[in-house]
């Protein structure tokens, strides 16, 4: 019979305690936020069907929702992706086992769209991206004249090519823009497809709702964990 190691026992105690519900609940609400947020964006930015039609829209609320979705996706990645941690040995060992347990919970779901670091990088490294674009513009790597789209919604990426600057057809470059007909977020030369991300999070949401159907009936609120001497079994006091 295999004897559980010290850290396996630690994780088994945590997983059997009220803390496990916090992990699963966080996973569920983040996935639901991405699913619902993307679905609303898709519905609000349907491309025009008529030939030659298109639009450029300034929509601050949509971009705030988009950044919120990307942040939620990045937090899901943190929950399920093994990584190096600067915490204590206990914390590092719990992280390793927690990510394994959550991935087992989601077995069969393609987690590629949330494990991709593009969402996290789009939020956390935007300042560095701007540094790079400004430098490339200065050095002529991005040909001038240039139209840089910042926080815009474009019905299609080629729409800006219709404009002229001082009689020339400019280079078009999305610093931060959402392309409606492709459901793509363009961020300083990097692109993130939002439909696979939405589908992945919808699958995560459905899996947790299957296991815990009461979640589907709730709106996110608050909770109080009650941890007693019995919560961790026979673990340390």
How many Cα atoms within 13 Å fall on the side-chain side of residue 4? 9
Domain ranges of the chain: 6-217
Residue 139 pLDDT greater than 50, yes or no: yes
Q: What is the pLDDT of residues 31-58, one digit of tens each?
A: 999 999 999 999 999 877 556 678 899 9
Model confidence band, residue 188 (pLDDT cutoffs 50, 70, 90): very high
pLDDT band at 2 (very low <50, low <70, confident <90, very high): very low
Task: Give the start-end residues of each E strand in 76-183.
Answer: 146-154, 171-179
Backbone φ, ψ for residue 104 (5° rounding): -65, -40
Q: Residue 1's pLDDT is what?
A: 39
Q: Does residue 231 or residue 196 have the better pLDDT? A: 196
Percent of the chain clearing pLDDT 70 (strictly above): 95
Considering only the C-alpha atoms of the chain, give the largest distance between any 2 of them, rounded to a whole number of Å: 80
| pLDDT for residue 155 | 92
Distance CA 27, CA 25 (A): 5
Contact by Cβ (8 Å): 149, 177 = yes
Q: Between β-strands 146-154 and 171-179, what pairing exists: parallel, antiparallel or unpaired?
A: parallel
Assessment of whether the complete model's pTM goes beyond 0.85: yes
Q: In the prediction, which pLDDT does 193 show?
A: 96
């Amino acid at each position: 019979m295999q004897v559980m190691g010290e850290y396996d026992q630690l994780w088994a105690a945590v997983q059997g305690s009220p803390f496990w519900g916090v992990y699963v609940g966080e996973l569920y609400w983040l996935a639901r936020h991405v699913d619902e947020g993307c679905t609303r964006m898709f519905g609000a930015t349907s491309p025009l069907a008529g030939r030659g039609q298109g639009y450029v829209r300034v929509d601050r609320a949509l971009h705030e929702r988009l950044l919120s979705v990307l942040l939620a996706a990045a937090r899901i990645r943190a929950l399920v992706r093994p990584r190096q941690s600067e915490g204590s040995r206990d914390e590092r060992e719990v992280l390793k086992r927690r990510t394994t347990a959550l991935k087992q919970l989601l077995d069969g779901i393609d987690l590629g769209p949330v494990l991709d670091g593009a969402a996290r990088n789009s939020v956390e490294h935007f300042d560095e991206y701007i540094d790079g674009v400004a430098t490339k513009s200065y050095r002529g790597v991005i040909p001038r004249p240039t139209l840089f789209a910042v926080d815009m919604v474009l019905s299609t990426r080629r729409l800006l090519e219709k404009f002229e600057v001082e009689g020339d057809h400019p280079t078009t470059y999305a610093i931060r823009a959402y392309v409606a007909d492709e459901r793509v977020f363009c961020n300083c030369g990097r692109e993130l497809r939002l439909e696979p991300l939405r589908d992945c999070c919808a699958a995560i949401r459905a899996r947790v709702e299957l296991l815990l159907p009461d979640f589907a009936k709730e709106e996110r609120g608050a909770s109080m964990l009650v941890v007693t001497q019995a919560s961790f079994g026979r673990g340390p006091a």
